[in-house]
Amino acid sequence: MNLNFNPQHIVILTGAGISAESGIRTFRDANGLWEDHDIMEVASPQGFDRDPELVHRFYNLRRQQLLSDEVHPNQAHLSLAKLEEDFKGKLSIITQNVDNLHEQAGSKNVIHMHGELLRMKCVETGKSLLNKRDIHVETPCPCCLKTGNLRPDIVWFGEYPMHMAKIEEELSQCDLFISIGTSGVVYPAAMFVQLAKSNGAYCIEVNLEQTQVSDDFDMHMQGPATETVENLVKLILS
């Protein structure tokens, strides 16, 4: 396998699959449930309006897991951090993941389009704040001092992803686009390949299996991210 060109600007899109081998379960692999919950129950504004305490409990557990000794960046996160360090051109990672495993691995240029587990947001002021603790309905907001005003700083279904102007700019300028561990069914991330391709980028997909958007890519690397990403990084740096 070889690339046949020297990329100057790489954009990498990552999804839940890159963190699966770190012990964080993906979204859709288990019958469309996320950690045994209907996704609309725990990942929509309507679900939060209906039962905010359940939604807080769900993200409290995800945050506790991320901060525990059980979860560490895996070889795929580490390989991407090495690529960022050694690559001479421009590189950015757009992640749909709400974990911070890219940052823990040492990646610097990471855009979280769906928010972060380690942040919370005040619904009154819109302010986003770092947070490592559990949140409950009665937790007072450090910014407006009221209770009931905090929510996870996560983009839910029906909400607009973060940093889209920056992401579109990156996708229109890159010459190599790589998508890792994402099912290609969550929009707008699912159409990033088309955007990158229409601007002339070479597009590579890395996944355990074929996805709904595999045909849009120039190359598909099949296998667990911990193995395939390391090989891909060697290929790019060689």
Just list the catalytic residues.
114
| 92 counts as binding ligand NAD under rule CB under 6 A | no
Number of residues that bind ligand NAD (CB under 6 A): 27
Nearest to 154, CA basis, from 128, 182, 190, 184: 128
* 7 scored as a contact of ligand NAD (CB under 6 A): no
CB of 6 to ligand NAD, least distance (A): 26
165 CB neighbour count, 10 Å cutoff: 7
By CB under 6 A, is residue 110 in contact with ligand NAD?
A: no
Binding of residue 148 to ligand NAD (CB under 6 A): no
If one asks whether residue 17 binds ligand NAD (CB under 6 A), the answer comes out as yes
Q: Where are the beta strands (DSSP E) in the chain?
A: 9-14, 33-34, 37-38, 90-95, 110-112, 115-122, 128-130, 150-154, 176-180, 202-207, 219-222
Bridge partners of residue 207, in order along the sequence: 222
Residue 94 DSSP SS3: strand
Give the residue, chosen from 75, 79, 97, 149, that forms a contact with ligand NAD under the rule CB under 6 A. 97
Question: How far is residue 1's CA from residue 131's CA, in Å, rounded to a whole number?
Answer: 44
Q: How far apart are CA 19 and CA 14, in angstroms?
A: 9
Does 47 help bind ligand NAD (rule: CB under 6 A)? no
114 binds ligand NAD (CB under 6 A): yes
Q: Binding mask 201-230 vs ligand NAD (x if CB under 6 A, - otherwise)?
A: ------xxx-x------------xx-----
27 binds ligand NAD (CB under 6 A): yes
* By CB under 6 A, residue 71 contacts ligand NAD: no
Which of 15, 47, 73, 152 is close enough to bind ligand NAD by CB under 6 A?
Answer: 15
Residue 24 found at the interface with ligand NAD (CB under 6 A): yes
Tell how many helices (H) and how many strands (E) occur in the chain: 9, 11
Strand partners, 132: none
CB of 8 to ligand NAD, least distance (A): 26
Q: What is the DSSP string of 186-223?
A: STTGGGHHHHHHHTT-EEEEEESS--TTGGGSSEEEES
Binding site for ligand NAD (CB under 6 A): 15-17, 19-21, 24, 26-29, 34, 96-99, 114, 181-183, 186, 207-209, 211, 224-225
